[in-house]
Amino acid sequence: MKRMAVVALGFVWGLLVTWVAVYVLNRIHWPEVKSHATSCNDMEHCTSHVKFLWGIAFFALTLCAVLFYGKPYVAPYIGLAS
């Protein structure tokens, strides 16, 4: 029971630290930096490209996870079992 209490306390502590960090970083008045970038450097105007890249990354990572965890079940049927 003590372990569960420590786990719950650690989880709540992690949530609290994360919330404080996000709160503080959102309240900082960051100086504006002049950018010399020639491509799109504003997320509001580049969302379609960013969404496309996130979609590819999500698909690739999901495929890797499925292949990695599915290998023990599929390998014996296709002759790859060692």
| Tens digits of residue pLDDT in 32-79 | 767 666 666 665 666 666 677 888 999 999 999 988 888 877 777 777
Q: Which residue, chain included where needed, has tokens 């002049």?
A: 34
What pLDDT, on a 0 to 100 scale, did the predictor assign at position 36? 65
The CA-based angle 69-15-26, given to 5 degrees, is 110
Cα–Cα dist 69/82, whole Å: 16
Q: Is residue 21 helix, strand or coil?
A: helix
- Looking at per-residue pLDDT, the higher value among 51 and 8 belongs to 8
CB 67 within 8 A of CB 73: no
Say how many C-beta atoms besides its own lie within 10 A of residue 41's C-beta.
10
